[in-house]
Amino acid sequence: MIINYTLSFAFTLVILTYLLRVPHILSGHPQLVNEYYIKNFSTSIPTDWILCLVYLWVANKVITYFNVKNMHNKVLMVTLTTLVISVLAMLYFKSQGNPSNFFTRWFKTVGFAGVVYDMFLLTTIYLVQQVLPISQN
């Protein structure tokens, strides 16, 4: 399971962030994206790995709680769970006054676009995880 997640995370991050430049496009602030994903690569990637893992763990708990069986509905639950968690994070960081914290600057600058990127990223990681040929058990 952790190998499947790690491969899905790495594949999705490389494609969406580095090749397609989705966060650059969605945020409209490439300098912030570059600060996070290029300048601070060695700390940002492990941070994202953990954060995405937590988001997907919560989403899976929601899927289990509501006994969701249909793949379309599972994807919807991942997207909605990410929406809720990211909006709460956005509200928290926007209320903070510490401009040295990246996430405070990120959400104060890009606002809801940061939430949209999170939803896109997490939903894509989940979908890639579902199609990888590595055993799900």
Tens digit of each residue's pLDDT (9 = 90 or more) over 106-131: 999 999 999 999 999 999 999 999 99
Cut 0.85: pTM above it: yes
Where are the domains positioned within the chain? Answer: 2-131
**Which of the four pLDDT bands, split at 50, 70 and 90, describes residue 32?**
very high
Q: Are 123 and 78 in contact (CB under 8 A)?
A: yes
- Mean residue pLDDT of the chain comes to 95
Phi/psi of residue 5, each to 5°? -60, -45
Q: Are 118 and 93 in contact (CB under 8 A)?
A: no
Tens digit of each residue's pLDDT (9 = 90 or more) over 41-89: 999 999 999 999 999 999 999 999 999 999 999 999 999 999 999 999 9
- What 3-state DSSP class applies to 34? helix
Structure confidence at residue 136 (pLDDT): 55
